[in-house]
Every structure is written in C-alpha cells, then in structure tokens.
A and B are shown apart, each in its own frame.
Chain A
Amino acid sequence: MFQRLFQWLDERLGLTSIHDVVLDRKVPKVNWWFTLGSASLFLFLLQGVTGIFLTVYYVPSPDHAYDSVQYIMNEVRFGWLIRGIHHWGATLMVLVVFIHMLRTFFYAAYKYPRELTWLSGVVLLLATLGMGFTGYLLPWNQRAYWATTVGTEIPGTIPLIGPFVTSVLRGGADLSALTLARFFAVHIWFLPAVIAATIGLHLYLVIRLGISHIPDEND
C-alpha cells in the first residue's frame, strides 16, 4: 500500500532521481570540516523558523519594540527559548559560515571550476553579516541603539558620498523609527530572500561540480 503510494508519487515527482542527484552523490574522502556548509544551511533554516516565530510578538516600532521583547522573554511561554535560539544561533551562524569559508580557502576549493561557488559564498557571508547587523538593532535597547549609531556612522567617513550612505542606512539624518522599520524590513525580507536565492545557486554549483578533494602531493 505504502509502496504503491510512493511509486505513484515517485513516477510523477521523480523523488528517486532527486534523491540520487542531491544526496547520493559521489564524494571524495572528506573530513568533519566538510560538514560546515550543511551546518550553515541548518542554522539558516533554524534562524528562519525561530525568526518567523519571533515576529508573532515582536513589534518594530520605537514605542513597543523594547517592551515586546521583554514580553517575549518574561511572559510568553517558551519565549526565552525561541529568542535564545535565535540569539545564539545568529552568532553561531556567523562563526560556522566563516569557518566554512576558511575550510574552502585552505583546501583551495575556490579554484577552477568552483570560482562561482566561492563568489556566491562571498555574497552569503556578506548577507549573513548583514543579518547580524540589522538584527542587532531590533531589541531597541541601549546597546542596540548605540551599536547602530556607531555602525551607521562608519560609512559616513567615506569621502564625498559618506553622509549620504549614512542617511540611506538610517532613513534620515538621525536614528529614528524609520531606521528601526527599515532594518526590520531588511532583516526579515530582503536579506533572507537574498540568502535563500544565493544558497540555491551555491548548492546547485556544489551538486553540479561535486566536492573537491583534499589537496595532496599531486596538486
């Protein structure tokens, strides 16, 4: 019965061939460092799920952001857990993505024909850091406020266009409700969309080109 159902679906959806292409790939002899890309993917999904849950109670307005976070932490059942996972997962994701980059760098996995995998990886790293930067403001506490004041001031030192960049980031000359709202939008819509699409490209390339082997004396 179950077999028949599976066969029916498989014939139409091509589940077996998806499985064969995506999971049943030939890989060279690898080590634990090669798990970090999958770990990055897992953390991205985990951040996505916990982030969606946080938006149930979080309000991106200067009047309510801080209080809504306090509410999540102190009153919502398991709010501390959901926020805790999102909070520590964010730091962990930056770390894991970075070490994943180091591993591909030290194993020279960025060389022909994997240049585009590396370049899409660069986009992923920058977008991941962008997630950290925009997410940091959202609790709207003292640390968030001043970190963003400083963080948006830094591009202000670029010659000529600096002040303009700062006011684009802030949505005006000062940190305000507009800053919070646009950081929120970038944090939950723009960057996740960029990351999701780029992960698609990145993994397509990984599957298409196969994993590189660990460099040996012949390389």
Chain B
Amino acid sequence: MPNSPKMTRRQFVTVIGAGLSAIMGTIVGLPAIGYLLSPALEKQKGESWIPLGALEKYPLNQPTLFTFTRAKKHGWEKTVTSYGVFVLRTSETQVRVFSNVCTHLSCRVNWKEEVQEYVCPCHDGHFAIDGAIVSGPQPRPLDEYQTKIEDGNLFIFLKEA
C-alpha cells in the first residue's frame, strides 16, 4: 500500500478500531440498560372493583377490618399480596373505606377501640376515625377508596400501582 499523505496506516487502524468499538459498545450497551431497568418499566395496571360483601353486615360507626388478597405476577412468579381496609359505615346507606397502609412508611395501622383512633405500631402515628391525622410523622390522612353499592353489596375501586 503506498503511503497516503492524509493518514498513516496506523492512524487509519486506530480510527477504524475506535469506531468499531464505539458501534459495538452502543449495540450491546444501550440494550443492556433497558435490560436492567426492564422490571421497573413494566406497567402492571390492575384496576378492579373488589366486592366487600353486604353493606348491612358492617356495624354502624365502627371501623371494621376487611382483608383480601390479590395475586400479581412478578417476573416468573406469582406473588400474593394481602390488602386490609377499614370499612366505616356512617349511616344506613353511607360508607367510607380506608386503606390500612400508614401514609408514613407503609406499616399497617390498627383500630384501637379504647382511644377511638387508628394507631400505627411503627412510629406511633395516630389517625382519627375519619382517617385524619391526629399526631405522628405521617404526611397525609389515610388513603380512602372510591366506593359503590349495588344491590346492597359494597364494592371498592382498587388501583394497583
């Protein structure tokens, strides 16, 4: 090969080598990022009305815990998640349903009959019967579910993150 005035053989090889490495790095590197982030990018949208049974079985003005489980797929495995909600029937036909997940750091709150408050065992968060903050580190009241009553049966609208 005659010597080119523009570029030496060595420079040519360096440029081609660097170029090919960059291309290969990108072809493998970019998919690799998607590969690692994959589960986080998965949208597992589950929206459904969950039946909580006949409304009349819930006592008036007394939060009653209702639990149910939902199976979700995580990767190659079905994971069963338990949910707990407090049903507060305020009149013959009216009801409010609160999540038992503490709005601080997601421990589960319990209804304490003696103090008439929901109390979180983790950092002593207290919530009033209507979910409002009484005391503690939690930033917002208990989350409330949308409800509907059909033929005397109570349903809540569950959105899974």
Instruction: List the interface of chain A (C-beta within 8 A of B).
Output: 49, 53, 56-57, 59, 64, 67-68, 70-71, 75-79, 81-82, 85
Q: List 10 A-B contacts (CB under 8 A).
A: A53-B35, A67-B77, A68-B76, A75-B75, A77-B34, A77-B37, A77-B41, A78-B35, A81-B31, A82-B35
Given contacts A78-B34, A82-B32, A85-B28, 7 further A-B contacts (CB under 8 A): A53-B32, A53-B36, A64-B77, A68-B76, A76-B39, A77-B31, A82-B35
**Which partner residue on chain B sits nearest A67 by CB separation?**
B76
In the complex, A70→B32 CA distance in Å? 18
The distance in angstroms between the C-alpha atoms of A79 and B36, with both chains bound, is 9
Residues from chain B with a CB closer than 8 A to the CB of A57 are 75
Contact A77 B77 (CB under 8 A): no
In the complex, B4 has a CB within 8 A of chain A: no
Classify the secondary structure of A's interface with B: helix
Interface size for B (C-beta < 8 A) is 14
**Is B93's beta carbon under 8 Å from chain A?**
no
For A74, give the chain B residue with the smallest CB separation. B76
Q: How far is the CA of A78 from the CA of B39 in the complex (A)?
A: 12
CB of B38 within 8 Å of the partner chain: yes
What are the residues of chain B within 8 A of A49 when measuring CB–CB? Answer: 28
Chain B residues in the interface with A (C-beta under 8 A) = 28, 31-32, 34-39, 41-42, 75-77
Note all chain A residues with C-beta closer than 8 A to B34: 77-78
Given contacts A77-B38, A77-B41, A79-B38, contact A70 B76 (CB under 8 A): yes
A81 to B31, CA, bound (A): 8
Q: Which residues of A contact B77 (CB under 8 A)?
A: 64, 67
Closest beta carbon of chain B to A72's beta carbon, Å:
9
**Is B32 in contact with A64, judged by CB distance below 8 angstroms?**
no
In the bound assembly, the distance between CA atoms of A64 and B76 in angstroms comes to 7
User: Would you give the shortest CB distance from A137 to chain B, in whole angstroms?
Assistant: 18
Residues of B within 8 A of A67 (CB): 76-77
Contacts of A56 in B (CB 8 A): 35-36
- Pair A71/B75 contact, Cβ less than 8 Å: yes
Q: For A78, give its contact among B32, B75, B76 (CB under 8 Å).
A: B32
When chains A and B are docked, how far (Å) is the Cα of A2 from the Cα of B159?
54
B25 CB, min distance to chain A CBs, angstroms: 11
The verdict on A76 contacting B76 (CB below 8 Å), with A82-B31, A82-B32, A85-B28 known, is no
Which A residues are CB-close (under 8 A) to B41? 77
